[in-house]
Structure 1
Amino acid sequence: MHLSSEARLSQVTTSKRFIRLGYVALFGVLLVAANWLFEAAWSDIRTGPLPVLLDDGWSVNQTAAGFNQVALHQTLTNALEEPFNIHSIIVERHGKLVAEYYQTGPDRSVYALWSRPQHFEPTTLHDVRSVGKSVTSLLFGIAAAQYPLLHPDTVVADLYSDQCVSQRPAHQSLKISHLLTMSSGLDWQEGAGIVDDEIQMFWRKDLVCHVLNRGITTQPGGSFGYNSGATALLADLIVRHSGLSLPEFADRFLLTPMNIKDWQWATDLHGRAMAFNGLRLRPRDLVKIGRLVLNNGRWHGQQLVPESWIKDSLQPRLATGVSNFQYGYQWWTGTVIWPGSGQSLQWQAGFGNGGQRLFVVPALDLVVVTTAGAYGDIETAKRVNLLLQQIVNTVLTDGSNEHER
C-alpha cells in the first residue's frame, strides 16, 4: 500500500505531535518528582522556638514574658504540625520577641500559577497579601496629616473631578471614609476567579475609572462590602498628592524610620504598586508594624503615624458578616477571652489570603504574626484565627508592664 505525499506528511506531523506531547508529559513528571524530592529533603526542617538575634533592632525575652512557656510552645508546635501549610509564627510581647518558628512548605508569589516548596527562615521575604491593606491605611494616615484634602470626610468626587465619577447623588455622597471602611456600596465582584474585579486591576490602565465607573448597589456607609479597589484608590490618592510612588512614600515615611530594609512591593502591568495584595515583608518586620500600632504610631520616640489616626483606624465601625468580626479603617477587629480575667478583650488585625495574619491585642500588649501558603483555603484561615485565642489562653499576666520600643 502506497501513501500519498499528503498522507505521509500528515503521518509525520502526527508523530511529531505525539513526540512533543511525550516531552511535555515527561517534563511534567520530572517537575513533580523534583518537587517531591525537594519537599522530602526539607520536610523536617523547622526552626524555633527561640527567636534569632539579628541586626534589625529586635531583642529577645527568654523568660516568655508572662506566658506559660510550655503551653505556649506546645500550642505553636501543634499548629505547625497540622496540615495547614503554616510557614511561620512569631509572638512578641512588651517590645521583645518571645517565640519565633519557621518551617518549609509550598508557596507561590502573587504572580505564580502554582506553588513550589520553599524553605523559610528569619531573613526570608513572604507575601503578606491583603495585610498590605492595613499597611496602606497607616500610610494614608501619614499622608492625611500632610495633605488636609485627604480627610476621611472629603467627597471622593471632589478629588477626581476629571475622572469617571457619576453625577448621581449616591456617587456624589461617596467619601474617603467609605473607601477606608469598605462601605462604598459600589457594584464590585471579588473572589470570583479570573473575571473578578480585583484580578482585572492587574492590567487595567485607568484604575480610577475601573473602580469608580460602576453602579452603586447600596448607599455608601450603609454596609461592608470587601473591595480591593477601595484600597487601590487610597494608594492612588497618596501618590497624586505626594508626588511619590507608593513604595517611595512607604520607604521615606514608614519603613526606613523603622529599620525595615528588606522588602518588596509587587507592581501591576503598568508599574503601579499593588497596595491591595502586593507587599512582601520578613515576618519579623511585620511584627514591627504591630508594635508600632500598639505604641499608638510611635517608634523609638518618633511619631510616625498620628496617634489619632491609629485610634480611628482600629475603631470597629461595621459588621463584616465574617464570624463576629468588624471593620475599621482597613483593619479587622474582633474579641478573644482571656482566661486570666475571664474578660473579653478586643484585637485588631491585618488579614491576608493564604493564612497571613498580623494580630495585636492591646490589653495584653501582644503581637502575633503568621505566614502561610494556603491561598484560597478557608480552613487555614479559620485555623490561624483560632490560634490567637489558643495563644491568649497561655498568657498568665496582663499587659500592665507595657513599655514602648
Structure 2
Amino acid sequence: MHSGELANLHAVFIARHGKVALERYYTGTDERWGTPLGTVTFDADTLHDLRSVSKSIVGLLYGMALAEGKVPALDTPVLDAFPAYADLAPDRQRRAIHIAHLLSMTMGLSWNEDLPYSDPRNSEIAMENSADRYRYVLSRPVESAPGTAWRYSGGTTAILGHLVARGAGVPLLDFARSRLFEPLGIEQAEWTPGFNGEAAAASGLRLRASDLARIGQLILERGSSQGNQIVQADWITASLTPRIPAFEGVQYGYHWYLAPRRDGSPAVMGIGYGGQRLVVVPSLDLVYVIFMGNYQQPFPVQLQRVFAVQNLIHGSVGA
C-alpha cells in the first residue's frame, strides 16, 4: 500500500469454486455519483458505486425483460420505440439503428466520454443536462453505419434502462430487485437518480462487494443460481458472444467486455470508472470484485492501480 499502487483501494472480494476465498475492506475517500462522501471505513455492508459496471447489469435486465415480452426485440429500430421523435425517422442511417446496436454500443452516432466527467462537454454529462435524455442520444450526428464501429456510450444504456422501466411499468431499481436481486438474496441496493429523476442506468447502481460477486457467480453458472434459472441461459450466451472490438485485445458483447487470457480462455468483465471491476474467469472457476475510489485520478493512473490489484489476485490463484 505504501508504494501508492494500491492507493484508495476500498474492497476486494474473491470467490473460487463457489466459495469465498478472500474478503478484505479498507478505508478511503469515496463518492456517490460525484458527490463526495469524505473518508469511509468500508465493511461487508457498505454500498459502493459500481459506476459503469452498472451497464453490464442493465444488459442482464434487458434480457430478462425481453424474455417477458416487456421490451422491443433486438432487431427493432430504436426509433420505433420513440414515436415522439418522428422528426428523426426520415434519416435512413439513424432509422437503421436497432436495439442490438445499443447493446453492443455500435449505434454509429457521435459520442465522447473521453473528456473528464466534470466537463459539461462530456457526452454523458451533456445528456444529463439536456431537456430530454433520449432525444439527446438519438439526435447525435451520424458518424458510421450501425454495427460497424464501437463507441463507448452511456447513452446506449440510458435508453435500454428507460425501455426496461417503461415496459415493466416500474422504476428500474424495482424491476432489478424483483427479477434479479431478490432471487439472488441481494437485500441492499440503491440506484442513484439522474437529473431527470429516472435511474442513472449507465453508472448509478450501488451494491455491496459480496452482492456484485453473486451476479458474477450467476454469469459463471450461465444464469442459474442454486438450481433456479434466473437469467435465461441463451441470453448469457448472447451477451458473452463477441460482437465488436472495443479496445486492443478486448471484445465487446452485449454490455460485457470479453478478454482472451494467455491460454486462450475468456475472461468476462464489467468495468467502472475509478477502479471498479467485476471479473469472471470460467476456466479458473473464479469471480472477483474490486472497489476503488480513484475517480479524480487521470485514467492511466486508474488503470495502473486496478491492474496492480488484479495482478495480485491472479498471482494468488496461480493465473
Alignment TM-score, normalising by the size of structure 1:
0.73
The Cα shift of 1:336 comes to 2.6
1:380 deviation in Å? 2.5
Q: Which amino acid aligns with 2:250?
A: F
Matches within 5 A, 1:42-53: none
1:82 partnered with 2:5: yes
Q: C-alpha separation between the residues in 2 aligned to 1:393 and 1:244?
A: 44
Please report how far the alpha carbon of residue 83 of structure 1 lies from its aligned counterpart in structure 2 after TM superposition: 4.4
Does structure 2 conserve the Cα–Cα contact (< 8 Å) formed by 1:203 and 1:269? yes
Give the alignment of 1:336-351 within 5 angstroms.
Answer: 336-337=261-262, 343-351=263-271
More strand by share: 2
Could you tell me how far apart the structure 2 residues matched to 1:125 and 1:116 are? 14
CA distance in structure 2 between the partners assigned to 1:269 and 1:351 by the alignment: 23
Q: 1:205 to 1:386 in 2, by over 3 A?
A: same
Residue 202 of structure 1 and its aligned partner are, at CA, apart by 2.8
Task: Say how many residue pairs are matched.
Answer: 313
What is residue 184 of structure 1 aligned with on the other side? 107
Worse-matched range after superposition: 182-191 or 381-390: 381-390
SS of the residue corresponding to residue 201 of structure 1 reads helix
Q: How far apart are 1:174 and its partner, in Å?
A: 0.3
Equivalents in 1 of 2:314, 2:2: separation in Å?
14
> CA distance change for structure 1 residues 310 and 385 in 2, over 3 Å: closer, same or farther?
farther
Show the counterpart of 2:243.
317
1:4-403 equivalences in 2 (<5 Å): 82-112=5-35, 114=36, 116-147=38-69, 150-163=72-85, 165-192=88-115, 193-321=119-247, 323-337=248-262, 343-375=263-295, 376-378=297-299, 379-385=301-307, 387-395=309-317
CA distance in 1, matches of 2:241, 2:175: 25
Shift of 1:269: 2.5
| Separation (CA, whole Å) in 1 of partners of 2:220 and 2:66 | 20
Q: Is the 8 A contact 2:62 2:71 kept in 1?
A: no
Relative to 1, partners in 2 of residues 1:280 and 1:391: Cα closer, same or farther, differing over 3 Å?
same
1:326, 1:333 within 8 Å by CA — same for their partners in 2? yes
Change (3 A) 1:80 1:354: farther
Cα pair 2:6 2:305 within 8 Å, conserved: no
Task: Tell me by how many angstroms 1:244 deviates.
Answer: 1.4
Question: Which has more radius of gyration?
Answer: 1
CA contact (8 A) 1:107 1:115 kept: yes
Q: Is the 8 A contact 1:79 1:387 kept in 2?
A: no
Compute the displacement of 1:143 (Å). Answer: 0.5
What letter is aligned with 1:247?
A: L
- The 8 Å contact of residues 45 and 208 in structure 2, kept in 1 or not, is answered as yes
Question: Is the CA contact (8 Å cut-off) linking 1:152 and 1:177 kept in structure 2?
Answer: yes
Do the aligned residues in 2 keep the contact of 1:331 with 1:349 (CA within 8 Å)?
A: yes
- The CA deviation at 1:232 is 0.3
Alpha-carbon contact 2:70-2:164 (below 8 Å) kept? no
Residues in 2 aligned to 1:123 and 1:87: alpha-carbon distance in whole angstroms: 12
1:227–1:79 distance in 2 versus 1, CA, 3 Å: farther
Letter in 1 for 2:264: S
TM-score using structure 2 length: 0.92
SS in 2 for 1:296: coil
Structure 1 residues 263, 222: closer, same or farther in 2, change over 3 A? same
The Cα offsets for residues 118-143 of structure 1, whole Å up to 9 and x where unpaired, read as 11111111111000000000000101
Contact (CA 8 Å) 1:89, 1:369: kept in 2 or not? yes
SS of 1:202 mapped into structure 2: helix
Q: Distance in 2 between matches of 1:150 and 1:96?
A: 37
In structure 2, distance between residues paired with 1:361 and 1:80: 28
Output the CA distance in 2 between the equivalents of 1:102 and 1:81. Answer: 17
Runs of 4+ deviating beyond 3 Å: 78-83, 385-390
Q: Deviations over 1:349-370 (max 9, x none)?
A: 1000000000000111100110
What is the Cα-based RMSD across aligned positions, in Å? 2.0
1:323-374 per-position Cα deviation (integer Å, ceiling 9, x unaligned): 311111111111233xxxxx23210110000000000001111001100000
3-state SS of 2:84 partner: coil
Whole-Å Cα distance in 2 between the matches of residues 385 and 363 of structure 1? 20
Contact (CA 8 Å) 2:70, 2:167: kept in 1 or not? no
